[in-house]
Amino acid sequence: MFTVHTLNQETPEREREEDGSLPSLLEKYKSSPPGDPNPSSSPGSSMDTQIIYDLLGENAWLYVCSTFAVLWILVWLYRDNLEIEEIMDKYVFVSGCDTGFGNLLCKKLDRKGFRVLAGCLTEKGADDLRRQAGPCLKTVLLDVSNQDSIQKAMEFTKKEVGDKGLWGIVNNAGRSLPMGPSEWMKVEDFHGILKVNMNGVIGMTMTFLPLIKKARGRIVNVASVLGRVAANGGGYCISKFAVECFSDCLRRDINYFGINVCIIEPGFFKTAVTSLDPLERELHRLWNQLSPEVQASYGDKYLDKFIKVQRLIMNAICDTDLTKVTSCMEHALTSAHPRTRYSAGWDAKLLWIPLSYMPSFVVDIGLKLVMPRPAKSV
């Protein structure tokens, strides 16, 4: 009976000691002697840290990291939604405004209050845009593959902006064709695309840079998801990889002067660049210029199979909502804290960008499964 009585006496004490409730823990730390070598009884931050560990248990760091991640996301979202002021006093130059992204962006920026300067390749494109926009939008003929044309556009812009400088330039002009197997190309086919997509971006940026530097403005370069994954032969992927590299180098060089460089990476959208008829005409032209030996190595049916695959891809993933791209461009120009890269389109976010982080053999296998096999492949 004596032994049983002792156990009954100790049991409530043990239960109270093992009680993990907040009041019990606080009472425990308050009653600890000041000289207790146990870190849990140390005053100040050590005691607070031990209380947190006892309350959260073994998953303390998980809870702390999760809280930090949530706070980081909230702060990022807050900063991402902050916009610049005095939009109506800012000038923006956009290239490639005859159709597509550039044309739509000019109209959006004009409605928002920017003073838009639109570079168009043709008179018809310039006239059509002026009729659809407000009086503040002005156009200038521009061929980005011609440095003299770029210089004239810069002189026109310099007169318009005066001492205010140029707030933003959007290097949107580009071409995609010819596109196809690399062996089908001639050197001139590569040069034609690089002259517009790569040299044009560099020429426009470097020529307009003094005006942008004066306004501490923005440079927005339109690359592509095919600047992250080389899925096609020809000069297009090469040029877009070059735009990515040039933009990264430029951003790191001039960020000291308050200039932001942003890269737009659209997925596949229904524009003149992805139109099937010109693509198929170019593929037929490339095929017809091949020697009989090269044609025989691919086989008579290869061209038809290749065109069929292109049709399936374009019809399956091309998005008709161009505002997904122009909204990224607009954010790059209006945000107080613009992003370094913008991925536009579901295929960019879910397919191409993830693929770009995978080992090369994954992309190689994927393309082999999709593309037709040459007749004399080994």
Give the three-state DSSP class for 289. coil
Q: Token digits for 194? A: 């690089």
Could you tell me if 77 and 152 are in contact, meaning their C-beta atoms sit under 8 angstroms apart? no
Residue 314: CB atoms within 10 A of its CB come to 15
Looking at this protein, which amino acid is placed at residue 151? Q
Burial class (CB in 10 A: 0-12, 13-18, 19+), 3: exposed
Closest CA relative to residue 92, chosen from 321, 332, 252: 332
- The per-residue b/e assignment along 41-74, b for 16 or more CB within 10 angstroms, e otherwise, is bbeeeebeebbeebeeeeeeeeeeeeeeeeeeee
Contact 30, 48 (CB under 8 A): no
Strand order in 168-171's β-sheet?
138-141, 115-120, 91-95, 168-171, 218-222, 260-266, 341-344
CA angle 66, 72, 78 (to 5 degrees): 140
Q: From the candidates 29, 78, 236, 298, which is the catalytic residue?
A: 236
Q: Does 178 sit behind a cis peptide bond, omega within 30 degrees of 0 on the bond before it?
A: yes
Residue 104: name the closest of 337, 339, 272 by CA.
272
| Cα dihedral 348, 349, 350, 356 sign | positive
How far are the Cα atoms of 181, 279, 369 from residue 58, in angstroms, in the given order?
A: 57, 60, 47
Q: How many CB atoms lie within 10 A of CB 200?
A: 27
Whether 53 is a known active-site residue: answer no
Instruction: Return the active site residues.
Output: 236
